[in-house]
Chain A
Amino acid sequence: MSTTTLPPTKKDAPVSAPSGKISDRARSERKLGWLLAGPAFLVMLLVTAYPIAQATYESLFDYRLTDPDNRSFTGLTNYWVILTDRLWWEAIGITAFITFITVAVELVLGFALALVMVKALRALRPILRAAILIPYAVITVVSAFAWQFAFDVNSGFVNSWFVWLPGVSADTDWFGDRWTSILVICLAEIWKTTPFISLLLLAGLAQVPEVLQEAAKVDGATRWQRMWRVTIPNMKAAIMVALLFRTLDAFRVFDTIFIMTNGANGTESVSFLAYRQTIARLEIGLGSALSVLLFLCVVLIAFIFIKLFRVDLSQARGE
């Protein structure tokens, strides 16, 4: 079937392809490539690009589902309303705070977990691996309930176990105050997602060349020096990828807050604020504007990571 005389038809050639310079084989490979990968690509665009475009459009209207006939074009008013509202900035502050605290603790704790997994006896590894996967696999809502019930003033055990701590008494109401609520939210988030980070770091640890460790040892480097000068620099890429993924994930925090406080006591995250406007208050216009702003925040974080911290995503893509 492979004839070399067939002229290149314009329809098949990708726009960027230098027409006529690629062989038939390469062209059919391209065609097959897009034929196979195209459906998945299209579906991904359909379930994300389309909704965000729709949200951008609807964010320009004053549009409530309770009063759909009075939909009116208001331009950027919704954005102005949000950006001048204290609620938005508080939600941003809370979200950023939870993100920073959880990711920082998870990184340190996850590293410790990864080190123990590396050093533990071979016989123990399957047990540790199974144990560490359990928080990852448990539904976030279930984890939120477990932690909520543990800290609950009536049915929990935390108050009676930790009564010796300063500030904890038998009737400490953890969910009655903003910062104690946030503490419990952070604990639940950290418990649930540290395993994921530790697995990524474990894979990163395995990539540190053993010869470098040996060389440093021969040169008289202490354990601590080897950690900071050899191990960590050599797994920088793995650390950065783990950080990027977890930061973006943490910034979307929603489930735990919904279960534990339902946004009360100033524990509302950005996702929660957007949810409340759209689903609970049926303010499609405002909710859409919030969605777009949240999306822009996520893009900004990803941009900062990739440009400023030079996260090498080709590492992440496995190339």
Chain B
Amino acid sequence: MTRRATRETQKAAADVSRTAPAGEDPAAMRHLLREMLLIRRFEERAGEQYALGKIGGFCHLYIGQEAVAVGAMAALRADDYVMSSYREHGQALARGITARAAMAELFGKATGCSGGKGGSMHLFDAKLGFLGGHAIVGGHIPLITGAAFAAKYRGEDRVAVAFFGEAAVNNGAFHEALNMAALWKLPAIYICENNRYGMGTALERASAIWDVAARACSYDMPAETVDGMEVLAVRDAVARAAKRGREEQMPTLLEIRTYRFMGHSMSDPIHGHYRTREEVEQMKLRDPVVTFHARLVAARMLDEEQWQAMEADVQAEVEDAVRFAEESPDPDPAELFTHVYSGA
């Protein structure tokens, strides 16, 4: 397989999985668009607030990948387990963490979803089954396997879903976990968001095999390659995996091909040395928000008035979140020593 072949495979996958919203519930479609738009606007404001010094540390934006989080969450149940990596603002919002709680967490405030103790890379909401952003590449892949183990142990039909990048699949934790999930038939869904670059290293420069989904063959695990720029394609693939998990107690590996429009983190320029401006611009032609908006308009599921209202509504929600984060108090100094141990 050549580099060129991989690119073409990805393009083909995108063409094939391009789904029309025909037959879908218009309100549900508008909801998906709004979810993606919220993530987009939230991340744009997060980048701005980072530049203003309101957000510290590392901050990894999700712009360009919105269809993956929104499509996947649309296929899951409220009692399923979800974990993500450090690029998890999108999944957190799509799972239901409010823009206020997420932005306040980025600001490190007491009202943040992790009380200001987690920050951008560690958003949590246990009530939503959102069990964290985890910041060691691949480290949470065994964790989600454990959550799937717990679901099966109790005889429940929940599934456990992890989001991670394609760079994690070269990691031992990925293989150890997938082996056990297949061996023990655990209801886990491994969502590899293949955005083609692990920080600044292209998949082709890090991996002997460029087809991530093929990795599942080693464990005799069902796998699919999915167009990550198409929210409905993602939704449907995750739904198939969830059904397999709930009904057959079988894990699935989904390689969801997507692209990040921003740099790896705030300190990384949009294209840098590792990719070209042209490549970024070309991928932006498939912007998941823009294309889905166009498709809804074409299918007469969204008119200009609704779109304007949606834009204004999302804008207001993000504005409110920033104001809320700004005005929220820092954690009490006593919080430094709470939650080191439970029951202490």
Partners in one complex: no
Interface residues of B (CB under 8 A from A): none
